[in-house]
Amino acid sequence: MPKSRVTMCLVLSLAAPLATGCAETSTNPYLSTDRATRENDVIVHLFEWRWDDVAEECETYLGPASFSAVQVSSPIENSVVEGRPWWERYQVVSYEVDTRSGDREAFADMVSRCRAAGVDIYVDAVLNHMTGVYAGVGTAGSTFAEYEYPGLYSRDDFHHCGMTRGDDIEDWDDPRQVRDCELVNLADLKTGESTVRARLAEYASDMLSLGVAGFRLDAARHMPAEDIGVILDLAGGEPYIYQEVLDMVPEPTWALEYVENGSVTEFRYGVSVGLIFRRGSLASLHGKGSMWERVRFLASETAVVFLDNHDTQRHTDENGVLTYKDGALYDLGLVYMLAYPYGRPRVMSSFEFATRRQGPPALEDESIKRVHGADGLNCARGEWVCEHRRGLVTAMVRFRKVTASEFRVTHWWTDGRDRIAFGRGGLGFVAINRSGETMTEHLQTGLPEGSYCNVLSGDPQHGPCSGLPVEVDAKGMAELSIPAMKAVALHVDVG
């Protein structure tokens, strides 16, 4: 069993954002409830980046910009799939650190350099399965066949559920099928067996020995929570854990079992926020009758939140999430996520894609293209998107840090439709205008009297805060004029 258990809390209403459905919690070695170091620390997912690029990004941008951690793609050998789709990284061949992102030496160098820059590395860890049920070769040259991975696993180390045709999951609400049958034909490991647990723990321990600070556990819902807890115990250390658990109904069902091991990805957040920004009323983002009352989200200290991830951004026609392809609407969603006091935020950093299958930008030899190339930074040129480098994201990461000690919403205002504003005590204030016209309002900010910079007003030529200052009077009131599809963010750390 896991070292300790956390009593699950559900957010009942964020009219008072910290109200929860329970009064008792206990210490968990995998989950920090210190808001100064977790919920106000922002993760960025540098999806499919090379290790040398991640290292350089930590040193030149992420560290100085106060990002706390990078989620990197799976570092272990994966199957070489024709066409090199992004999902080949989730088809594990061995635990050798060797992928298109780089080898073990490059990985270790990245972890060390990022840590020196003040940025943790979180590994996207695939523990539930190996490759699809076929024969092939891996990125390190290892060969494999159906349920046969020389030196690691053989047929008896995998589930053969016998409940469905081809042993694939058919009923996604049946816990036995979800955990014992195959996820889209991927060879499903018997994580309840001691030998399998030991090998998975050895892999996790090896990552920790290289300086990795945490894990995003892929397909966690497809493994019993107890199995995950045992594997973590065997691995040792105290990494930050967040588990991928897809739980989309208003009342959480699957996620409740997993918080004993650490944080959980709150998928319903991105879908809810996306749908509201797309076609709902922004008034639904807080208070009475809001999404916080319609959906029982996970407790803030256990939730990792995001507008989109590498999966959901490829299915917007089905789930309505916002992505980089939504332009200004996506930007406004990011401002809300990074300003609102709920969960630990994770920002997606994508590559351009035209099809759901498409892999990262690559050269003719199929090696991944550099982001930090010889011809300069390859961001926003039609290949790497680099959403995290947008000025508004950097500004809002800082905003979240500055307002950390006031983890609550104050001075909520809305026109009932397309415009909202709220404060973070006396430390910060945000106003968002989703409408097609300029928003002119005289609003209470909660801020001390003074002249404030709108940290979202910068431009590449003149730097941050190049717009007109916002004057706050002795009563905390400010006259705001916000163009269509723009936002204002003020905080006490910038004059």
Strand partners, 450: 472
Residue 88: both structure tokens together: 């080949």
CA distance 394 to 193: 45
DSSP state for residue 356 in the 8-state scheme: T
Query: By three-state DSSP, how is residue 365 classified?
Result: coil
Kind and range of the H or E run holding 97: strand 92-99
**Residues labelled as active-site residues:** 218, 244
Would you say 336 and 25 are in contact if contact means Cβ atoms under 8 Å apart? no
Name the pairing type of β-strands 486-491 and 450-452. unpaired
Torsion of CA 465, 468, 472, 473, to 10 degrees: 150
Backbone φ/ψ region at 165: left (φ over 0), alpha (ψ -120 to 50), beta: beta
Q: Which of 205, 299, 208, 309 is nearest to 258 (CA)?
A: 299
Number of Cβ within a 10 Å radius of residue 464: 18
Residue 126: strand, helix, or coil: strand
Classify residue 10 by its DSSP letter: B
